[in-house]
Amino acid sequence: MILSLYGKTGGGKTLGQYMMQSVWGNPDMLHFGGKFTQNGLFSRMSLHGNLPMTVDELTMLDREEAGDLIYWTSQGRDKARLNRNAEEKAIKEWATTMTVSTNESLHSMLYAGGHATDAKLARLLEFTVAPHPLFTKNSQVGRQIHAFLMSNYGHPGHEFMRRLMPLGVDAIKGMLDHAIAEFPKKYGVSFSGDERFWEAGLVLADLGNQLAKEYGLILYDYQDATEWALSELKSMKSSAATNRMDAFDALGEFINEHMDATLTVMHTPNQKPMRDNNRPYINDILVRYDLHRKSFDGKFESGTVLLERTKLRKWLSNRGYDFKTFIKEFEDEGILATPKSQKAYFGKDVGIKIPQCYVVGVNLNHPRLQGVLDDADHAVADLTHGQLKVV
């Protein structure tokens, strides 16, 4: 999984990463900083194998690459690739955590870039590291800790593994099973199925600290650290619930991104359908509104929106949103309005000659979509007002 240490300079994020690496070896050589590519990072992770990976500023990657990296890190292997002879290359593998330090929230960055899928967020555990007076007052303490770590490293990791290895695989697996079962009682928390990465990360860290304490390798109260991590987890859960995209959010984003490919047709009884020329389409039509009113000067009381299905499916897939889930949410709300044939002419009634295409239809008579009808009323009123001013 990915552990992100997020906060302003002065919290000791990089020093924390050096401390992690000093357990196992030279922290300066093990820490991965500066500019890097995704492939370079995968190569370094396979070199580390089971050793923890620490990286400065993952946000130097572009947002799409950062999102992919979160997912692929948890897979424990690189993407399959072919060599010039069309033979599959040996796949790089690892089984570890990656800890990154960043001044920009990785969580927020994924949302801003449209890459915040449930699969990726479930693999990301982000802790807020606030500036600490020890480091903000002056640089003396930070320099002293850094100097100590650069000359004292590698001892506790070696001793820790020396104690673990004689136990054998079965005994260690038994300890893990016991720790997973006892953790909820010990700290009064529970984890859902989609929080399994968070659960594994916290339980393993707690167990590792417990054993290190028993072996005399650490002197601090590790339970305080676990309690703090769990408190951070609560805020992450709250943020994820607030920001999680549902079908209505996805519908709104798709329409907003394709405003230049949207056609609006207004329907009034006993009159020919009218195209809204206030919003002329430029590209191929991907969105069509059909709005209905009882009289020419009346309000729009009902309507539907049709979406080009092929482009919609691809758009949803690129954002990690499941098309079947998208459809089911509208079915459950009783507002799915796709024609029985699954097809429609986007240019029907307004003289635009384009072929029939597969569509998804949604009824606008829903509290979260009612604003579309209200906006249409305002648009027509503004258009009429503009024409009167010209006359």
Contact between 190 and 203 under an 8 Å Cβ cutoff? The reply is: no
Task: Categorise residue 49: left if φ over 0, alpha if ψ from -120 to 50, beta otherwise.
Answer: left
User: Which one-letter amino acid corresponds to residue 132?
Assistant: H
Residues 219 and 297 in one domain: no
**Pairing between β-strand 343-344 and β-strand 287-293 as defined by DSSP bridges:** unpaired
Task: List, in order, residues 6 or more apart from 178 with CB less than 8 Å away.
Answer: none
Residues 211 and 271 in one domain: no
* Nearest to 52, CA basis, from 31, 67, 72: 31
- Residue-range definition of the domain harbouring residue 264: 247-390
Q: Is the dihedral of CA 340, 281, 312, 336 positive or negative?
A: negative
**Pairing between β-strand 98-102 and β-strand 300-308 as defined by DSSP bridges:** unpaired
- Tell me what pLDDT residue 73 has: 81
Helix orientation angle between 38-48 and 63-75, rounded to the nearest 10 degrees: 20
- Tell me what pLDDT residue 383 has: 40
- Tell me what pLDDT residue 366 has: 86
Q: In the chain, how many domains are there?
A: 2
User: Which one-letter amino acid corresponds to residue 180?
Assistant: I
The residue among 211, 243, 275 that closes a domain is: 243
Cβ density class 272-283: b for 16+ within 10 Å, e for less: eebbbeeeebee
- Residues (pLDDT < 50) of the chain are 381-391
Beta bridge pairs of residue 2:
98, 124
Residues 184 and 226 in one domain: yes
CA distance 23 to 380: 68
Residues 115 and 253 in one domain: no
CA distance 19 to 105: 22
User: Which one-letter amino acid corresponds to residue 225?
Assistant: A
| DSSP E strands, 88-155 | 98-102, 124-128
The residue among 220, 243, 266 that closes a domain is: 243
Cα Rg, the chain, nearest whole Å = 28
- Tell me what pLDDT residue 162 has: 95
Residues 196 and 128 in one domain: yes
* Nearest to 189, CA basis, from 233, 225, 152: 233
Residues 29 and 174 in one domain: yes
Residues 113 and 87 in one domain: yes
The residue among 243, 274, 308 that closes a domain is: 243
Number of other residues whose CB lies within 10 A of the CB of residue 251:
21
The residue with tokens 């195209």 is 275
Beta bridge pairs of residue 371:
none
Residues 157 and 142 in one domain: yes
Residues 51 and 119 in one domain: yes
- Tell me what pLDDT residue 182 has: 94
Residues 26 and 47 in one domain: yes
Contacts by 157-164, CB closer than 8 A, 24 or more apart: 157/23, 157/24, 157/25, 159/215, 159/217, 160/23, 160/208, 160/211, 160/212, 160/215, 160/217, 163/211, 163/215, 164/211
The residue with tokens 């329907």 is 267
pLDDT digits (tens, 9 = 90+) for 340-375: 999 999 888 888 888 889 999 999 888 888 776 666
Residues 266 and 238 in one domain: no
At residue 126, φ and ψ (nearest 5 deg) are -110, 125
Q: What's 210's domain CATH number?
A: 3.40.50
Residues 202 and 230 in one domain: yes
